[in-house]
Amino acid sequence: MNIHEYQAKALFEKYGVPVPKGAPAKTPEEFVNALAPLPEGPTMVKSQIHAGGRGKGTFTDGFKGGVKFCKTKNDAKELAGRMLGNTLVTAQTGPAGRKVQTVYFTTASDIKKEYYLAILLDRGTSRPVIVASTEGGVEIEKVAHDTPEKIHKVFVDPAYGLADFQVRELCFKLGFAGAEAKNAARLIRNLFTCFWETDASMVEVNPLITTPAGEVLALDAKVSFDDNALFRHPELVELRDLNEEDPKEIEASKHALNYIALDGNIACLVNGAGLAMSTMDIIKHFGGTPANFLDVGGGASREQVVAAFKIILGDANVKGILVNIFGGIMDCNVIAQGIVDAVKEVGLKLPLVVRLEGNNVVAGKATLAKSGLKLVSGDSMADAAQKIVKLVAA
């Protein structure tokens, strides 16, 4: 689960990670109150959406920049009015962009130098890793690719936690000295506690900055949490913003379906994540484009199959459907009945190819045949994928 920058910064403050003074606003009426506690002078206005590249983004009405520097609070108020309710397109949003429903005002900081700091899971060692660089405020992938020696990593032993010497060493590598070093060390330790205690899957600060006064501040904040651990953080679940999620994905999660929208035109309905991924792959292999990832899980019910069909058909781009079920334990006949009921209920007019295999498959195929539905049966995954690609192309 992802959260907004202003939410992440509130969390940082709670853990003693310094951030510039700021406040969010969701309506123009809230601008005055949000700006009131900030000192007069240079102020930033930042569009709050769950996507990167905001500063370089463009709004659909032509207004440029989702993050703006303003000389006065009054200017900030005016620019916030242009952002709020407007749709921002960035390199990460796709062409449709995201509607800005919250703006965030912060005091503009005097920047001495920019750094990069992130904490995430390292899969190779199964340990948290702190990643830091003196090259902040730029794309970190580019730094890692061009100048890998400028990326520093600290692996944290979960038995002992982050050790002081590790933090000192990292601060030296980043070139911090004096008061800066002390402040940076405290920030890194506190950020790690925040990462660990909230079950975050990643915290990223880009840039982390120093000021001429010797302060070290998180100028930006990106935080995502491990969905598996949300059950023990009800206060974090409150931060979820459904406006940032695809309505079809929200609907799917209500039915315990794992759905991700893509931009192709062949929808697929599959049991199991690996099989669902490779069903998308095989559609592409035979020249089609998948419209979604959809895993109905190991024990899908009739109701779930009906819900899955409704979600798939809610995507106007869909021109055909491929159902691929390997019923290991689940009864293929139950799935077949679910398909028949679903198709009757939603009144399907698109081509449908069904590949059923596994437990009680003969009865399942008989149910489909008897139903009188206009569907095509596929023998193997390859056969089914070729058939649906051909039908959609026709």
Partner 1 sequence: MAILITPETKLLIQGITGEFGARHTRLSLDYGTKVVGGVTPGKGGQFFEHGGQKVPIFNSVADAARATGAKVSAVFVPPPFAADAILEAADANLELVVAITEGIPIRDMVRVKRAMEGRSTRLVGPNCPGMVCPGPGSESKGGCRIGIAPGYINKQGHVGVVSRSGTLTYEAVFQLTTKGIGQSTTVGIGGDPVNGTSHLDVIKLFNDDPDTHGIIMIGEIGGNAEVEAARWIKANCKKPVAGFIAGATAPAGRRMGHAGAIVGGAEDTAAAKIAVFKECGIEVAITPSDMADALLRAAKAKGVTLS
Shortest separation between residue 345's beta carbon and partner 1, angstroms? 26
- Residue 104 designated active-site: no
Answer whether the bond into residue 207 is a cis peptide, omega within 30°: yes
Binds partner 1 (CB under 8 A): choice among 281, 345, 374, 393: 281
Confirm or reject binding of residue 224 to partner 1 (CB under 8 A). yes
User: Hey, how many other C-beta atoms are within 10 angstroms of the C-beta on 283?
Assistant: 28
As a 3-state breakdown, the chain gives helix, strand, coil percent values, each rounded to 5, of 40, 25, 35
Please give the biggest Cα pair distance in the chain. 80
In the DSSP assignment, the letter for residue 360 is T
Q: How many residues bind partner 1 (CB under 8 A)?
A: 62
Give the whole-angstrom CA distance, residue 248 versus residue 261.
Answer: 8
From residue 123 to residue 162, what is the string marking binding to partner 1 with x (rule CB under 8 A)? xx-xxxx-x--------xx--x------x-x---xxx---
Binds partner 1 (CB under 8 A): choice among 82, 186, 284, 390: 284
Parallel, antiparallel or unpaired: strands 103-107 and 266-270: unpaired
Shortest separation between residue 158's beta carbon and partner 1, angstroms? 5
Confirm or reject binding of residue 298 to partner 1 (CB under 8 A). yes
Q: Which one from 116, 180, 259, 357 is the annotated catalytic residue?
A: 116
How many CA atoms does the CB half-sphere of 221 hold within 13 Å?
A: 25
> Nearest Cα to 305, choosing from 327, 280, 329, 335?
335
**Kind and range of the H or E element at 340?**
helix 332-346
- Residue 116 designated active-site: yes
Confirm or reject binding of residue 91 to partner 1 (CB under 8 A). no
Q: Contact residues for partner 1 (CB under 8 A)? A: 52, 118, 120-124, 126-129, 131, 140-141, 144, 151, 153, 157-159, 196, 199, 201-202, 204, 222, 224, 226, 228-229, 231-232, 260, 262, 270-275, 277-278, 280-285, 290, 293, 298, 326, 328-329, 357-359, 380-383, 385
- The catalytic residues are 116, 204
